[in-house]
A and B are shown apart, each in its own frame.
Chain A
Amino acid sequence: MGQGQQYFRNYRQEQSLTQRRVIVSGILVLIMVAILVGRLFFLQVVEFDRYQTKANENRVMLIPEPPPRGLIYDRNGLVLADNRPIHSLTITPERIENFSELREELEAVLDITPEEWDSFNEKRKSYRRPYQSITLKQQLTDQEWAKLSVDLYKWDGVQVEAQLTRYYPFGEAFAHAIGYVGRITEKDLARVDPAIYQGALYIGKSGVEDFYEKELFGIPGLSKLEVNARGRIMSELERQNPTPGNNIQLHLDARLQQYAYDSLGTYKGSVIAIDPETGGILALVSKPGYDPNLFVRGISYKNYAILRNSPRLPLFNRALRGGYPPASTIKPFMALAGLENGFSSWEERFYAQGYYQINPNGRRYRDWKRGGHGWVNLERSIIESVDTYYYQLAQKMGITPIHNFLKKLSFGSPAILDLNGASNGLLPSNEWKKAKYKEPWYPGDSVNIGIGQGFMVATPLQIASATTVIANRGVWHSPRMAKKIGNDDFELLQEEVTTKTITLKNQRNWEKVVTAMEKVISDRKGTARRLQGTPYKIAGKTGTGQVFSLQEDEEYEADKLEARLHDHALFIGFAPSKAPKIVVFAIFENGGSSAKPADLTKKLFDAYLLDDYPEEYDYLKGPNL
């Protein structure tokens, strides 16, 4: 059958059929090659820029290098916040094949707590740049480091990194003033440029560290590295060194700070010392403090719980946020308010009984002195701290003139230039009471205000700040921490100081109040006569404040209750009273008698004015003393 068909075959026709098909195929081949060329043209010419960028993004890794943080010095050049090198064990998860194996091997060489593993795993799972290393164990000891270095080559993706970490050499007495740095949280990143903080280990959280974050941080450097697909660094393409943050010199005197802190003894409380000529804060103490070093690399839950739950509230910054009744320390200010508003004069006499009544059948507002003081004038009312005088004065004035005058003296406002979080205290007014209690201001409310009790609440910083105005005879410089900001030589001097002058109708009244405050010490009936005998003249005022309420966070514990009910003891003072160099406010919570803060103030005066420190404070002398 096959042979029969062959007979009819037209070979030439079949040949040309296939040849035609080959030519058609050849044309199709050319068309398809044209498609490929078109595709290459699209990728290599049209989209070239896009793919070039993409290829560079692949191979170039930008590693931000955090700048060394600026140091914080005290007024004498003592370093209060330092940078120290530490070695940490870090791991690049992308390069680890078997974590449980690695864990076993590492634990054979090193003690690693389960918490450290947990925190490592947590960070590993949260979002981060690929191939960025994660810290497993911080602050290796020298022995650990040495032990590790022997075996380090064995593990790909495990390395020991040297980093600078913040260190506060003098611990808890300075914590509330200097503040601390801590781990950067999402919340922190919302208020700074996250690009700048890439690779940074910490950010200022409180105190000077917080307020001057921008100055202290500096400008991060950048390494442009060439990496391969597995993140291994092949070469460094470009490098921009970081610019260190600016150093800050504070007005703070480290010896004075520590001395004040120690002098509070076992009491809770606060001490503020201000140089009235500049507003510079010489000491800002809140006791108890805490070790700020705990926070630097992230505080453990356990440690934080201890601090947070302590009934002594170590984390609470009493200097800035403590709300206290100013008590009798308000009297010099109240006297000035009375003079300014024409409700009192230096000459006018007042018979001070043991109590004061708004109306004959009303409530008796008691004087601290049972039998009363007899006939007194304005000066004597300050010297002997005559309560009834101020009851009647405040009642006569009413709240509005009081409010307006005290407002000028930094009551009711944060009263500090360069620390965040200072409280406004409470300077009450008619409007405030209406808004808060839906009640009018009663005369009785004014009576209490007269002796710095009742609704009025002030922070130690406010009372100290107000005292500087009397010390300066009407000139107010906003209290501030920083003295100089700049590089190592402190070339940049920060000059913008907020200054205010309070002019009285009779400017001589400043001097007269100062004289009265001098007599608080020098007069034989003065409430602070125990401070007599100094080579310089002190002006001051005592105060004992009733503890009228408990603070929110505190618990009731019967055995502690009694101590709690003791009065707060306060003292304001400045010296030398003619041309004051230092203003001090001190409060001993539940201190009972104002003798304690008065004695403390005198110690600080001796120390600051006469360099009369106990020897044990020599270690806090700065180098350029």
Chain B
Amino acid sequence: MNGSLYSRVMAFTNARLWKLAHIDVLLMVSLLLLISGGLVVLYSASGQRDDMVERQMFRLALGFSACIALAQLPPKYMRRASPVLFLFALSLLAAVLFFGVGAKGAQRWLELPGGFRFQPSELMKIVMPMTVAWYFSDRHLPPKLKHILMVLFIIMLPVLMIAKQPDLGTSLLVAVSGIFVLFLAGLQWRYIIGAFALAPLAGFSLWQVMHSYQKQRVLTFLNPESDPLGSGWNIIQSKTAIGSGGVYGKGWLEGTQAQLDFLPESHTDFIIAVLAEEFGMVGCITLLVAYLLIIARGLYISTMAEDNYARLLAGSLTLTFFVYLFVNIGMVSGILPVVGVPLPLISYGGTSIITIMATFGILMSIQTHKKAR
């Protein structure tokens, strides 16, 4: 019986139909599991607003379309397009700096005809690892120093432009996605150790160029109780929400922190606190398992990829995805400073869902376009 179930599952996942549609079934199923759980939490976090859940489902549908569409595109075309896309994304970033619109003192969006808004830095999240992977695709690995410096230059250019918007969180994530490629390309350990040794110095110079609100975030992170009603409020309330959830949680729609509005940004950046409050540690670990399934599949696709470009790209995209969720959960639970990073695929909001689903489209493309051996 067991054997027959397993074989049936395997038969389902390996069906020719999926291969033809360029869909990786395991990745797709894990994503759907995560997303449906996320919608349940969002319903609670939004204050039981059907309209918000519907809008989120619409975005997810858009994301899945982007995912499936990208999955049809063979990796070799992506590789060829990478440098062009990079220049395109870079010019958009430059356009943002000159013509961008924004809110709360930051310029992040480009206004498109028809009332659409577009955030070029989101595009850069994908284009950055593509570009670095492209750069290494026809070069020897491990990279030589001059190539490392070249790649660092490629990375720094958009990162500084995004940081100037200012959007420190995204710029760091973009930087990280490029650096992951460098790491996977076999960046020598001596450089890695050296970089960590220089980190304090870098941190200091970063502090010098940071905006006061960014500095405030770091200071609040270091001591949230110093300003319990001001900037420390968010983190105190999210920790209270998480902690008071205990092992089993207070029950769906029963979280007092979330339902009585003590938890700020409960449907966006701080949504994990709602999950933690209402479903407890059990819910959190279930969520982490779902994420780990996706990450494991992504890393597996990376190791099985056909060429350097696909390997580096798949690995970097997967690791960057992990960084999103680690930074988000770390921030909400108070072990990292508050940077505006949403919980991937669960937080309410448009652009990031599309970007992230696009990365899974790329992963599926890499997995399903391999020539049979």
Contact = CB atoms under 8 A, between A and B. Distances in A.
Given A18-B312, A25-B319, A9 B243 contact: no
B311 A51 contact: no
Interface string A17-46: 111011101100100110111011101110
Given A25-B183, A25-B184, A36-B330, A44 B247 contact: yes
B295 interface: yes
Interface in A43-78: 43-45, 47-48, 50-52, 54-56, 58-59
Contacts of B281: 40-41, 44-45
Contacts of A15: 308, 311
Given A19-B303, A25-B299, A229-B262, A5 B315 contact: no
A288 B140 CA distance: 108
Given A22-B315, A229-B262, A44 B335 contact: no
Contact of B280 (A5, A29, A44): A44
Contact of B184 (A18, A32, A45, A47): A18
A14 interface: yes
For A5, A18, A21, A33, the residue with the greatest tally of chain B CB atoms inside 10 Å of its CB is A18
Contacts of B240: 51, 54-55, 58
A316 B360 CA distance: 88
A22 B313 CA distance: 11
Nearest to B282: A44
Given A9-B140, A29-B295, A40-B284, A48 B244 contact: yes
Interface string B245-265: 111000000001100111000
B211 to A, nearest CB: 28
A32 B326 contact: yes
A32 B183 CA distance: 17
B256 A59 contact: yes
Contacts of B256: 55-56, 58-59, 226
Contacts of B285: 37, 40
B184 A52 contact: no
Contacts of A35: 335
A2 B260 CA distance: 63
Interface residues of A, number: 43
B133 to A, nearest CB: 10
A536 to B, nearest CB: 74
A228 interface: yes
A227 interface: yes
Contacts of B288: 33, 36-37
For A22, A45, A58, the residue with the greatest tally of chain B CB atoms inside 10 Å of its CB is A22
Contacts of B276: 40, 43-44
B150 interface: no
Nearest to B243: A51
Interface string B292-305: 10011001001100
Contacts of B326: 32-33, 36
Contacts of B183: 21, 25
B141 A50 contact: no
B174 interface: no
Given A15-B311, A44-B280, A229 B242 contact: no
Interface string B216-253: 00000000000000000000010111111111000000
A59 B243 contact: no
Nearest to B330: A36
A227 B260 contact: yes
Given A18-B185, A29-B295, A52-B246, A43 B260 contact: no
Contacts of B244: 48, 51-52, 54-56
Contacts of B119: none
Nearest to B236: A54
Given A18-B141, A25-B319, A43 B242 contact: yes
A228 B260 contact: yes
A59 B242 contact: no
A48 B276 CA distance: 12
Contacts of B126: none
A52 B245 CA distance: 8
A230 interface: yes
B171 interface: no
Contact of A52 (B237, B243, B311, B333): B243
Contacts of B257: 55, 58-59
Contact of A50 (B243, B280, B303): B243
Given A22-B184, A48-B246, A54-B244, A36 B260 contact: no
B329 interface: yes
A98 interface: no
B142 interface: yes
For A35, A55, A58, the residue with the greatest tally of chain B CB atoms inside 10 Å of its CB is A55
B186 interface: yes
Contacts of A229: 260-262
Given A2-B138, A21-B315, A39-B335, A226 B260 contact: yes
B322 interface: yes
A29 B242 contact: no
A579 B53 CA distance: 91
A56 B330 CA distance: 24
A33 B262 CA distance: 27
A36 B183 CA distance: 23
Interface in A228-243: 228-230, 234
A6 interface: yes
A234 B260 contact: yes
Given A18-B311, A54-B240, A234-B260, 19 more contacts: A5-B139, A6-B138, A14-B141, A18-B184, A18-B308, A19-B311, A22-B184, A25-B299, A25-B319, A26-B295, A33-B288, A37-B285, A40-B276, A51-B242, A54-B244, A55-B244, A56-B256, A58-B240, A58-B256
19 contacts: A2-B138, A18-B186, A21-B183, A21-B315, A22-B184, A29-B292, A36-B288, A43-B333, A44-B243, A44-B245, A45-B247, A52-B244, A54-B240, A55-B240, A55-B277, A58-B237, A58-B257, A227-B260, A229-B262
Nearest 9 CB-CB pairs, A to B? Answer: A51-B243, A55-B244, A228-B260, A229-B261, A43-B243, A14-B141, A51-B244, A17-B186, A44-B281
